[in-house]
Amino acid sequence: MAGPSLWLTTLGCAKNQVDSEKVTAMLSEAGYTWADSPENADVVMVNTCAFIEEARAESVEAILELQDRKRADARSVVLGCMAQRFGSDVESALPEIDSVLGLDRYGELVGVLDRLTNWEPVNLTRRPVMDILHATGRPVSDFPYAYLKVAEGCNKPCTFCAIPSIRGKQRSRRPTEIRAELEGLVTAGVGEVILVAQDLAAYGRDIGAPGGLPDLLAFLSDVPGVRWLRLLYLHPREITDRLLEVMTSSPLVTPYFDLSLQHASGSLLRAMKRPGNGEKHLNLVSRIRSMSPGAAMRSSFIVGFPGESDSQVEELADFLVEARLDWAGFFPFSPEPGTPAAVMDNQIPRDIAMERLRHLSDIQDELTAKANAEWVGRKGLVLIDQVEEGVPVGRTYRHAPEIDGVVRTDSGVPGEWLEVEFTAAFGHDMEAVVA
């Protein structure tokens, strides 16, 4: 007997998306079904994000939108980071929500939904309580790529970040569990797998795996059917010579370096409890390029951190010009409750932070456009992700899904790997024809 119907909206990062996919698998195995719209669901759910203020506002907006769209007799559940971090506040502010379950209570979800829907399944084996980190069930991906979470939580003391208080200390998965999930994704037709974690390059330290991420990559390298393994989020302190050697020598690992640099000012980075400065960052970039001349590089930067001066903004601007990163994201400082940076002196007004962000973004946009233009006339491999309005859209190794640009081609179907010639570049995006 088919169970009650559900709707799940997912917000936030790739790690949250993986959580939602595992929740979906757990609930499907428990007999629940999935509605084609919120209006047709017996229960609507939101997997929320709480990383910064904007993310929390988006989460609240999504919750309220679903409240307006759902049937009057449908029930509502809030999941994810905001539920974990501000559960009691969410319950007080939104009394119309039926249940608020943080990350550490996902194992209760089946029972909660059974009670909310008054469903008593007959002759159905219910799945045991799920560990959100280790469960391997995943629905078939709509795209030829998928995210694979190898660890949860973070031990870093960054003064601006609330992730440790939300996700807890780092907990690495066992290599055999990761490999099993990877094999399952490949069997389902996934050709590119993106390894993610809050602190990916620190993988393994908490489970006594001294080889860490390099050993894990070696262990996964012979899984048949994987064309690309992409790594997202590399903390500079964890980028060892051995990791670089594995990343630049493995034919499976894409030469794509997602470097979490955060700023170029040494004094600001110290206040953030982050390593390095502009010169050290440039040395790292140079080192990577010497080992892998065609490597693509991305980073993220915080603008408007307490005490940031105009000269420090220009220091970051000079770094961008010299580093010539392929991609970069800029985020205004968000004073997260409970973090040291939220109560530091010399908080930067929001309008000034946003003006600085636009200035730096304009500089990086020109650098990204130039990096893409240098590929015009060259050939490369593209993975087609989808077809938009009749146009195949894909990516090269230089493009991480959902955060970088795309390549539009003259033919191809989702999941197809094509050798193309790049014919034009338009800012972040490119055009190509099959070679």
In this model, does residue 431 exceed pLDDT 60? yes
Q: 154 with 75, same domain?
A: no
In angstroms, rounded to a whole number, what is the distance separating the alpha carbons of residues 196 and 209? 18
Cα–Cα distance measured from residue 49 to residue 140, given in angstroms and rounded to the nearest whole number: 23
* 51 found inside a domain: yes
Q: Quickly tell me which residue has 């709509």 as its tokens.
A: 142
Dist CA 177 CA 12 (whole Å): 25
Say yes or no: 360 and 390 in one domain: no
Query: 150: domain range?
Result: 145-373
pLDDT at residue 130 is higher than 80: no
**Residue at 287 is within a domain:** yes
pLDDT (0 to 100) of residue 139: 76
Q: CATH number for the domain including 175?
A: 3.80.30.20
Residue 38 has pLDDT above 90, yes or no: yes
Residues in the chain: 435
**Dihedral, CA of residue 43, residue 46, residue 47 and residue 50, to nearest 10:** -150
91 plus 40 within the same structural domain: yes
Q: At what angle do helices 81-93 and 53-69 cross, to 10 degrees?
A: 60
Nearest CA to 121 out of 29, 24, 25 is that of 29
Q: Are residues 177 and 31 in the same domain?
A: no
pTM for the predicted model, two decimal places? 0.89
The band of 103, judged by pLDDT with boundaries at 50, 70 and 90, is confident
| Number of domains present in the structure of the chain | 3
Whole-number pLDDT of residue 422: 98
Say what the pLDDT of residue 124 is: 62
The residues near 37 (Cβ < 8 Å, ≥ 6 apart) are: 7, 69
Considering the domain architecture, whether residues 422 and 339 belong to the same structural domain is answered as: no
The pLDDT of residue 127 = 55
* 43-48 and 379-388 beta bridge pairing: unpaired
Residues 267 and 393 in one domain: no
**What is the C-alpha to C-alpha distance for residues 182 and 146, in angstroms, rounded to an integer?**
9
Domain boundary among 67, 100, 117: 117
Query: How do residues 328-362 score in pLDDT, each as one tens digit?
Result: 999 999 999 999 999 999 999 999 999 999 999 99
Q: Which residues pair with 149 in a beta bridge?
A: 196
Strands (E), 287-390: 296-303, 327-332, 379-388
**169 plus 295 within the same structural domain:** yes
| pLDDT class of 394 with cuts at 50, 70, 90 | very high
- Tokens 């048949």 locate to 224
pLDDT tens digits along 58-87: 999 999 999 999 999 999 999 999 999 898
**Alpha carbon distance 34, 290 (integer Å):** 50
- Determine how β-strand 327-332 pairs with β-strand 296-303: parallel
104 pLDDT band, cuts 50/70/90, is: confident
* Mean pLDDT of all residues in 111-120: 91
pLDDT at 276 exceeding the cut of 60: yes
Could you tell me if 293 and 350 lie in one domain? Answer: yes
Whichever domain contains 394, its CATH number is 2.40.50.140
Predicted confidence (pLDDT) at residue 222 exceeds the cutoff of 70: yes
* Domain contains 418: yes
Instruction: For residue 351, tell me if it sits in a domain.
Output: yes
Q: Are residues 314 and 268 in the same domain?
A: yes
Residue 99 lies in a domain: yes
Query: At which of 332, 354, 373 does a domain end?
Result: 373
* Percent of the chain topping pLDDT 70: 96
pLDDT at 29 over 90: no
> Is residue 48 in some structural domain?
yes
Pick from 45-54, 256-265, 395-404, 426-435: least confident: 45-54
**127, part of any domain:** no
Residue 363 has pLDDT above 70, yes or no: yes
Distance CA 250, CA 291 (A): 12
With b meaning 16 or more CB within 10 Å and e meaning fewer, what string describes 108-143? ebbebbbebbebeeeeeeebeebebbebbbbeebeb
Binned at pLDDT 50, 70 and 90, residue 106 comes out as confident
Confidence of residue 55 (pLDDT cuts 50, 70, 90): confident
* pLDDT band at residue 51 using 50, 70 and 90 as cut-offs: confident
Report DSSP letters for 96-160, one per residue.
Answer: T-SEE--GGGGGGHHHHHHHHHT---SS--PPPPP-TTT----PPPSSSEEEEE-EE------TT
Structure token pair of residue 341: 């940076």
CA dist., res. 19 & res. 144, Å (int): 18
Same structural domain, 274 and 161: yes
Which amino acid appears at position 246 of this protein?
V
Average pLDDT for the chain = 92
Taking a C-beta distance cutoff of 8 angstroms, is the pair 158, 272 a contact? yes
- Indicate whether 129 pLDDT > 60: no
Residue 70 C-alpha from the chain's centroid? 28
**CA dist., res. 178 & res. 200, Å (int):** 13
In a domain, 138, yes or no: no
Residues 93 and 160 in one domain: no
Same-domain check for residues 163 and 75: no
Q: Which of 97, 117, 137 is the last residue of a domain?
A: 117
Confidence at 134, pLDDT banded by 50, 70, 90: low
CATH number at residue 55: 3.40.50.12160
Q: Give whole-number Cα distances, 56 to 25, 48, 319, 382, in Å.
A: 26, 8, 31, 35
Stretch 263-277: mean pLDDT, rounded? Answer: 97
Q: Among residues 11, 122, 102, which one has the least CA distance to residue 112?
A: 102
